[in-house]
Structure 1
């Protein structure tokens, strides 16, 4: 049988103060209640000696505040790379003295409704609504009227309905262009990957790349269209090389695409970066594993998770919903050379 927890009354008795005085001290209200420093020290010492822990359930019933957050995602939690957003959210929650519950829906609307209902039954204080891929979402009706911050997603419309925290993909595209041009590339620059309008990241990255190249007085020489997977990229780049002429630099829309491009270039007998420079986005583990190591623009997953929870728990000065675009740093490695 587990030992009984010490009660607030026992702490007060040991400290020689009233129960209300002990309560005010442990709640950090000794100053406004004009409790002496001597009494405060006796209460703290008694609480430590008795290993006193407050009854959080009783407190939440009394105050209607549970110090809990629910993060509801599609597949974010189970992805080993994007799961770093969970780590960032968890760290921010702990820093604010909160617990973080995590629920994953796998995109199933029925599962999502059940999860949110269960969290509401447990009286969680607020929600982070998250997506694996940056996209526009419809916030579930069950969340209306509750504090919500969107993580890696946003609502449609000119005026945001909620705070949204997303990566700054357009600025990342400009950084990609500036990096390639900064190494001396002016022509023969090709984009690799589909730029379908419904793919938010691809659309934003392409717009930034075009803007950055235009500012430098140049432009893309062409686009090698493929899915964002190694086998599709391998086939597309192989076909482009066979049709000639060979590109001087490839800007790949993610690291998986870059992996397929590496394979195609090697098979064609081309050196990276001696013959063709390669730059990518995401900075997944692939980027450091490839040889030469791949220059890639990093998705700030951890920072996204941290910022979402910070906005949720510390909204002072941010009453009006905004879209917060976090910077994506360039991880400069060995895959870009001088033409």
Structure 2
């Protein structure tokens, strides 16, 4: 919808109102026509809401679906996933009821009990950080279908969906290789996190596939922040042989990377190519706009609703973990490497 808003010259809210046919909004017919034409040109298909007379694939649900998530405020991913689930549930006439649990050992079971006592007919259990979870016994004892979103259990007792992070890291790095880069650095997140580990694995696989030797000095651990992106980029520029491209493992790191490169007098992408990850809103407005990968939380929310099987119960079968693609969004931050090494205009010792 952000892309449609840009093409139509209006706000994202206006796009939402038009595509969802929200009653009571005073949007001119001219604006409506522009939005619909932009949506058509971009290949966007608005959700087709099922008539009440149509029996849904999961019509065994009784109208209210619970959504338990550990964190709502730390990042936009939870809200995006909830919106995907909300759209899919509304398409089938179901309401979504959301609770934040903070993974608190006392309050989480109380929150889930409040959802179940409120009459939910299914549960989606989400974590902000992709990870393996050990679910407490009371989740297994729920007599309703349950889906895990952005997490999974080792016993595969529940349907689960996560981003395909290894493939995402591989695609990001391969994009730089395809432009002729051979000295490619990466700035990771906190390496104890599975997302950072998987994106690094994808990076290494792409290098290996292209017969590019792995160089550990080109891997800098960050903490997902812009400050870490800035200091890591300065460290990379201070190397005897700096990279010609940097894969930042999230967009906030890329913001810091942009600032460091500009402070060093380097142009993006003429002197240094940069790729991000997450496709946050800011990535569209950086100069130049940032090539990045989409975290598919919206699609994951929809997937979770679509895989609530009224007949399923924990322990009846093993469910494979579904992995959704982190598709690459190509913008203007990547080009062929410079023919000569870029000249840094001032000292680039590591700094924050």
TM range (shorter): 0.7 to 0.9
User: Are 2:203 and 1:205 aligned?
Assistant: no
Distance 1:299 1:314, change over 3 A: farther
Counterpart secondary structure, 1:281: coil
Larger radius of gyration: 1
Counterpart secondary structure, 1:240: helix
Answer yes or no: is the 8 Å Cα contact 1:81–1:284 preserved in 2: no
Aligned mates of 2:133, 2:75 — CA distance in 1: 20
Aligned mates of 1:247, 1:171 — CA distance in 2: 22
Partner of 1:327: 325
Distance 1:213 1:89, change over 3 A: same
Counterpart secondary structure, 1:109: coil
Answer yes or no: is the 8 Å Cα contact 1:129–1:150 preserved in 2: yes
> C-alpha root-mean-square deviation of aligned residues, in Å?
2.2
Shift of 1:239: 2.8
* Match of residue 208, structure 2, among 205, 214, 217: 214
More helix by share: 1
Shift of 1:217: 1.3
Distance 1:239 1:299, change over 3 A: same
Answer yes or no: is the 8 Å Cα contact 1:96–1:313 preserved in 2: no
User: Are 2:168 and 1:183 aligned?
Assistant: no
Counterpart secondary structure, 1:151: strand
User: Are 2:187 and 1:192 aligned?
Assistant: yes
Aligned mates of 2:291, 2:193 — CA distance in 1: 22
Partner of 1:272: 268
User: Are 2:308 and 1:309 aligned?
Assistant: no
Counterpart secondary structure, 1:71: strand
Counterpart secondary structure, 2:186: strand
Distance 1:315 1:170, change over 3 A: farther
TM-score computed with the length of structure 1 as normaliser: 0.75
Partner of 1:67: 63
Structure 2 unaligned blocks of 5 or more: 1-51, 53-59, 338-352
Aligned mates of 1:77, 1:225 — CA distance in 2: 24
* Match of residue 233, structure 1, among 229, 232, 248: 229
How many equivalent residue pairs?
A: 272
Partner of 1:250: 246
Q: What does 1:1-339 align with in structure 2 at a 5 Å threshold?
A: 66-76=62-72, 79-146=75-142, 147-155=145-153, 157=154, 159-186=155-182, 188-194=183-189, 196=191, 198-221=192-215, 222-313=218-309, 320-339=318-337
Aligned mates of 1:336, 1:130 — CA distance in 2: 34
TM-score computed with the length of structure 2 as normaliser: 0.72
Counterpart secondary structure, 2:231: helix
Answer yes or no: is the 8 Å Cα contact 1:230–1:260 preserved in 2: yes
Partner of 2:350: none
Distance 1:242 1:315, change over 3 A: farther
Structure 1 unaligned blocks of 5 or more: 1-52, 54-63
